[in-house]
């Protein structure tokens, strides 16, 4: 087991972290070791974690009746190979053995196509729209923080929220596509997202965001370290270790390490204050206007959590910790201009005529800003009010057929522009 884990950790270290390690050795000791610029194998972060989970479970005697072919298929199963979810052998291999799944099931095929098209639409039509503001914003963030062309306060807010929605719809969309592809082959792939922006605490956020990564880190790192069974201090240390590993896993850069530590600290603060929060809710429940007060407490908790997530995502997207700090410092500069280039991606064709009919300001910047506000509001409503695609009931009727193919055609047309899946980098 130890050799197997070391092999997989060594594999991901060499391909993903070798140059990062050499860069820091050169910086600290003034050495001149050459970087290798190693090409990252697609999906290595995911299949190495799956292999580690299999090795540990094999050590526990849970995989004795599996063949090598079943193991190889489990590790290389393509729908979730590139960006998750991180599945366990107990979730896939028994399905591989089920002979009923070896035949075409048209209900599953239709459900898979519908789910795949909706996931693709999340990525191509929503995430990429927000991505245009993010890309331009961070290209300007590379400028001198107080110089001409640097981001203004509203531009920082727009770029920050845009990335928050971009990474949500990008990763959530890919998870839906993986689930849809699995359904086409009659296989059930575990849910990886459960409306994470509904969370009212960092702990709840990680129960909803990238759920299979949270499960892996809990099962194979947090619990073996002792979990919460060895006192409060040890619990906080174990929590910080888990989130440090999460940050390192996401990328070979100090921004990811600091991002993981930030979330670990947030999780520890949540553990410290959870009892106070529960007691407060219990007290206000029986008080006059307790329902209203309880709602306000939850609303404040959601706002604090959402702001924390946004600031942390800003770090996640930054090119360096220094750039992130410079952007945050710009929030203290009193400049409220918004350039059209930042919000150009939110342009709605012929929307100016609608504003003119309504006798509203119809200058180009007003058109773009209105489109930006509408896009942000719509995205937030989808995140907070709509059911997950995994939970929907898919009906095979004419309406579903037309809607699905309209989405697919719109996505295919949108593929003429440059697009990348964010989690391909990790």
Residues with a catalytic annotation lie at: 250
How many Å from the N-terminal Cα to the C-terminal Cα in the chain? 25
Q: How far apart are CA 424 and CA 254, in angstroms?
A: 19
Burial class (CB in 10 A: 0-12, 13-18, 19+), 121: buried
Check if the beta carbon of residue 89 is closer than 8 Å to that of residue 74.
Answer: yes
Which token pair is 304? 């604090």
If you compute the radius of gyration of the chain from its CA atoms, what whole number of angstroms results?
A: 24
Which token pair is 264? 């670990």
3-state class of 66 per DSSP?
coil
In the chain, what are the helix, strand and coil shares in percent, each to the nearest 5?
75, 0, 25
Question: Angle, nearest 10°, between helix axes 44-59 and 2-12?
Answer: 180
HSE, CB side, 13 Å, CA atoms: give it for residue 405: 6
Q: How far apart are CA 327 and CA 310, in angstroms?
A: 13
- Which residues are within 8 A (CB) of 12 and not within 5 positions of it... i.e. 6 or more apart? 44, 45, 48
For residue 74, give Cα distances in angstroms to 59, 87, 95, 295: 17, 9, 10, 45
For residue 134, give Cα distances in angstroms to 203, 233, 313: 27, 39, 12
């Amino acid at each position: 087991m130890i050799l197997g884990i070391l092999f997989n950790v060594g594999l991901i270290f060499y391909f993903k972290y070798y140059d990062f390690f050499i860069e820091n050795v050169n910086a600290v000791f003034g050495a001149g070791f050459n970087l290798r610029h190693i090409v990252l194998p697609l999906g290595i972060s995911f299949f190495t974690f799956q292999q580690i989970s299999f090795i540990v479970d094999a050590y526990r005697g849970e995989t004795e009746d599996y063949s090598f072919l079943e193991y190889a298929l489990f590790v290389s199963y393509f729908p979730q190979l590139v960006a998750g979810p991180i599945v366990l052998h107990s979730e896939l291999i028994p399905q591989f053995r089920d002979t009923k799944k070896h035949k075409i099931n048209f209900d599953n095929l239709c459900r898979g196509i519908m789910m795949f098209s909706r996931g693709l639409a999340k990525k191509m039509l929503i995430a990429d729209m927000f991505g245009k503001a993010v890309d331009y914003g961070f290209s300007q963030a590379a400028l001198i923080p107080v110089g001409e062309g640097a981001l203004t306060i509203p531009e920082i807010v727009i770029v920050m929220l845009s990335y928050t929605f971009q990474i949500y719809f990008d990763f959530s969309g890919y998870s839906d596509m993986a689930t849809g592809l699995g359904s086409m082959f009659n296989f059930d792939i575990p849910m990886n997202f459960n409306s994470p922006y509904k969370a009212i605490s960092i702990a709840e956020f990680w129960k909803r965001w990238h759920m299979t990564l949270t499960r892996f880190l809990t099962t194979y790192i947090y619990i073996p370290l002792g979990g919460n069974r060895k006192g409060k201090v040890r619990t906080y240390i174990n929590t910080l270790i888990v989130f440090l590993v999460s940050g390192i896993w996401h990328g070979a850069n100090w921004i990811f390490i600091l991002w993981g530590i930030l979330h670990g600290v947030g999780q520890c603060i949540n553990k410290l204050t959870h009892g106070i929060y529960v007691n407060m809710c219990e007290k206000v429940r029986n008080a006059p206007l307790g329902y209203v007060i309880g709602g306000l407490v939850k609303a404040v908790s959601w706002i604090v959590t959402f702001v924390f997530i946004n600031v942390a995502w800003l770090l996640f997207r930054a090119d360096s910790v220094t750039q992130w700090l410079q952007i945050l410092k710009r929030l203290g500069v009193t400049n409220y201009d918004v350039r059209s280039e930042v919000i150009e991606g939110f342009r709605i064709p012929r929307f100016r005529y609608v504003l003119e009919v309504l006798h509203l300001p119809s200058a180009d910047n007003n058109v773009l800003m209105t489109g930006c506000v509408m896009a942000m509001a719509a995205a937030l409503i989808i995140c907070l009010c709509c059911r997950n695609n995994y939970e929907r009931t898919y009906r095979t009727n004419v309406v579903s057929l037309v809607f699905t193919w309209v989405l697919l055609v719109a996505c295919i047309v949108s593929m003429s522009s440059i697009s990348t899946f964010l989690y391909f980098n990790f």
